[in-house]
Amino acid sequence: MSLRQAMAGLHTWAGLLVSWLLFTILFAGSLACFDKELTRWMQPALHLSTGPRATTDQVRDWMHRQAPDAHAWWMRPPGPREPWWRVGYEPDGGLFQGFELDAVSGQPLPKTAGGDFFFTLHYDLHAGLNGMYVVGGAGILMLVSLLSGLVIHRRIFQDFFTLRPQATRQRAWLDAHNVLGVLGLPFHLLIAYTGLAIFVFTYMDAGLKVAYAGDAERFQTEVQRSWEREDIGQPAPPPVSLDGLIAEAQRTWGDGGNAGWISVHHPADAAAVVSIRRRDDSRITDDQRTVSFDAGTGALLHVQPPYDPGYRLYAWMTGLHMAQYGGQLVRGLYLLLGLAGCLMLVSGVQLWLAKREARGVPGMALVRVLNGAVMGGLPLASLALLWANRLVPPELPGREVWEVRAFLATWTVAIAWAVLRSRGGRLTRDQLVVGAVLALGLPLVSIVRAPQGHLGASLTRGDWGLAAVDLSLLGTGILCGWLSWRLSRPKASVSEPSSRLAEEGA
At 110-165, the pLDDT tens digits run 999 999 999 999 999 999 999 999 999 999 999 999 999 888 876 666 665 555 55
CA distance 429 to 121: 27
459 sits in the region (left: phi over 0; alpha: psi -120 to 50; else beta) called alpha
Helix ranges (H only) for 323-426 are 327-358, 365-370, 377-391, 399-421
At 45-80, the pLDDT tens digits run 888 767 788 999 999 999 999 999 899 999 999 988
Cα→Cα distances 494→168, 425, 501, Å: 6, 19, 15
β-partners of residue 100 are: 86
Phi/psi at 282 (nearest 5 deg)? -85, -10
Nearest by Cα to 315 from 277, 266, 354, 262: 277
Domain ranges of the chain: 1-43+110-223+308-316, 51-109+226-306, 362-488
CA distance 399 to 109: 12
Answer yes or no: are the C-beta atoms of 53 and 103 closer than 8 Å: yes
Question: How do beta strands 72-76 and 84-90 pair?
Answer: antiparallel
CA 169 vs. chain centroid, Å, equals 33
pLDDT of the residue at 498: 46
β-partners of residue 85 are: 101
List strands edge to edge, sheet with 300-303.
97-102, 84-90, 72-76, 258-265, 273-279, 291-294, 300-303
Residue 309's contacts (CB-CB under 8 Å, 6 or more residues apart) are: none
Cα→Cα distances 207→195, 210, 218, 311, Å: 20, 5, 13, 16
Which helix H or strand E contains 86, and what residues bound it? Answer: strand 84-90
Question: How do beta strands 84-90 and 273-279 pair?
Answer: unpaired
In a 3-state reduction of DSSP, which class is residue 234? Answer: coil
pLDDT of the residue at 390: 95
pLDDT of the residue at 159: 60
At 416-459, the pLDDT tens digits run 999 988 766 688 999 999 999 999 999 999 999 998 889 999 99
Phi/psi at 469 (nearest 5 deg)? -65, -45
Low-confidence ranges of the chain (pLDDT < 70): 49, 154-169, 423-425, 490-506
Residue 124, CA atoms < 13 Å, CB-side half-sphere: 13
Answer yes or no: are the C-beta atoms of 100 and 108 closer than 8 Å: yes
128, 131, 137, 142: CA torsion to nearest 10: -110
pLDDT of the residue at 169: 61
Helix ranges (H only) for 255-326 are 309-322
How far apart, in Å, do the first and last CA atoms of the chain sit?
14
Sign of CA dihedral 38, 349, 16, 190: negative
Q: How buried is 480 (Cβ within 10 angstroms: 0-12 exposed, 13-18 middle, 19+ buried)? A: buried
Residue 460's contacts (CB-CB under 8 Å, 6 or more residues apart) are: none
pLDDT of the residue at 506: 46
Nearest by Cα to 122 from 111, 134, 140, 112: 134
pLDDT of the residue at 425: 65
CA distance 250 to 320: 26
Helix ranges (H only) for 184-263 are 185-198, 200-203, 206-212, 216-224, 242-253
pLDDT of the residue at 363: 76
Answer yes or no: are the C-beta atoms of 471 and 34 closer than 8 Å: no
Nearest by Cα to 35 from 113, 115, 111: 115
- Under DSSP, the state recorded for 108 is B
